[in-house]
Structure 1
Amino acid sequence: MIRVVLADDEAVVRVGVKGILQSDPDIDVVAEADTGRAAIDLVARHRPDVAVIDIRMPGLDGLTAAEAIRRSAEGTAVIMLTTFSEDAYIARALRAGACGFLLKSGDPHELIAGVRAVSEGAAYLSPKVAARVISAFGGDRMSRAERAKGRVAELSPRERQVLALVGAGCSNQEIGDRLHLVEGTVKSYVSAILNRLDVRNRVQAAIIAYEADLVDES
């Protein structure tokens, strides 16, 4: 069972997100918060697998809460809920250690897929928000794409396959199933990819996969 703490100051949003998540028999929303401070306290109390947090909330906002959760609850993956108008907050969310970004108005299936992915150690970028996550790094998009393709070109063909699946939000087990590899081998590939790309986590690797046009968004 994937245990989730959900935080959003809008009750209607919380009800909707909770209903979507709990339609999956493997997901249980164990607690809800309407402030960032309450989210931190509930994560400390329940130690969930995933915290789904609104990127903006009054008082102690979701970004500050995400930073605190990543420092105090390393076993809890953080997904940020965002809207199309909140691009400026994404760079800070990346620095805070967020593992996933989802649109509040996105496909319900993406919400479930994102929670499942980050609970298994993967990164998850909603295809509709990926471009905005990429833009948070600044600079010309074409030049970023060229740099990403240059970095990816240094990887082996198998490493590029693994990176594409990391960008698609696949867990190590899912990557192994698709490429007919044991999970330990996938972990080794992922570690090597992070080192060769000189990135800190799977979210940053996923961004490079998107910039290099490795991810099939269809």
Structure 2
Amino acid sequence: MTILRIITSPRGIESQSIQLGNAIVERIQIEKPESVLKIRNLSIHPFPHLDGIHLTSFFTAQENRTPEQEASIVHSETAIEELFEADTIVIDVPMYNFGIPSTLKSWIDHIARAGKTFRYTTNGAEGLVKNKKVYLAIATGGVYSEGIMKDFDFTESYLKSVLGFLGVTDITVFRVEGAAIPELKNLALPKALKLVKEFVTP
């Protein structure tokens, strides 16, 4: 089994999303020690934001691409190959301004390609990324899974929507919540790690 780990926080070991992601990977490896881990650290090696050359290369047949287009499509081709090779995907997601980091959005823009990871049919769009298990390791300063701030959470909802569009629907979410709230911050990470430890992977 192959685990694809997507890291997005630039804070290294201080990052609570990274610590949560570490715990999820360790939990999977305990139950499936034969697993092979592939790490894609977008904070160190970010994918470029899409520009005109990228978009043109996506819609140009390989035999017709210019050298510039061939060079620009490398990130997308690599990311999609890693996606299809993985059985399990762990994505670390610190919330930035109610949404996901721009580095993660760029990665998504490179993997969401018509004819590659989804296609349009007479019955609507069909995701082509099948039989994947995804874990989201979300870290937020406030509490967004419930209560008055729930409507401001565009991390979980967006990722579930876009991954679901690509065909990935088996998604489990773990959260470090309240990391910036004085009465919650000391227990936020331990509480999340405890839930991961108790979780039985499928």
Superposition TM-score tier, normalisation by shorter sequence? 0.3 to 0.5
Structure with greater helix percent: 1
Higher strand share: 2
TM-score with structure 1 length normalisation? Answer: 0.39
TM-score (normalised: structure 2) = 0.41
Greater gyration radius? 2
